[in-house]
Amino acid sequence: MANQAQVKPNSGEWTAIVLAGERPNGDPLAEELGVRAKALIEIGGKTMLARVVRALLDSSKVKQVLVLAQQIELIARSEPSDILSHPNVEVAISGNGIATSIEAVIGTSQSPWPVLVTTADNALLTPERVDDFLGEAKGCDVAVGLGERSVVEQEFPETKRTWLKFSDGHFSGANLFALGNDRCVPAVRHWQAVEQDRKKGLKLIASFGPSLLFRALTRTIGLKDGLACAGKRMGLKAKVVVLDAEAPIDVDKKEDMELVERILSQRPATLAAPVSSIRKDLPPVSGAWP
Condensed to tens digits (0 to 9), the pLDDT of residues 168-206 reads 889 999 999 999 999 999 888 877 765 555 455 555 555
The model's pLDDT over 20-61, given as tens digits with 9 standing for 90+, comes to: 998 878 899 999 999 999 999 999 999 999 999 999 999 999
| Rounded distance between C-alpha atoms, residue 290 and residue 287, angstroms | 9
Summarize pLDDT for 101-148 with one digit per residue, the tens: 999 999 999 999 999 999 999 999 999 999 999 999 998 898 889 999
Instruction: For the chain, give percent helix, strand, coil, nearest 5.
Output: 40, 20, 40
Contacts of 54 (CB under 8 A, 6+ apart): 46, 83
Instruction: Quote the mean pLDDT of the chain.
Output: 83
Q: Is the pLDDT of residue 275 over 80?
A: no
pLDDT for res 52: 98
Q: What pTM was computed for the model?
A: 0.85
User: Is pLDDT at 166 greater than 70 in this prediction?
Assistant: yes
Judged against a pLDDT cut of 60, whether residue 228 lies above it is answered with no
- Per-residue confidence (pLDDT) for residue 118, from 0 to 100: 97
Q: Look at residue 145 and give its three-state secondary structure.
A: strand
For residues 141 and 28, what is the distance between their CA atoms, to the nearest angstrom? 35
Taking the CA atoms of residue 176, residue 183, residue 68 and residue 91 in that order, the dihedral angle to the nearest 10 degrees is 110
d(CA 128, CA 268): 14
Ordered by where they begin, the domains of the chain are 12-287 (3.90.550.10)
Predicted local distance difference test score (pLDDT) of residue 97:
83
Predicted local confidence at residue 236, as pLDDT: 84
| CA-based nearest residue to 147, from 258, 279, 280 | 279
Quote the CA–CA distance of 121 and 127 in Å, as a whole number.
Answer: 16
Q: Is there a contact between 19 and 101 (Cβ–Cβ < 8 Å)? A: yes
Give the residue among 237, 205, 227, 234 at the shortest CA–CA distance from 218: 205
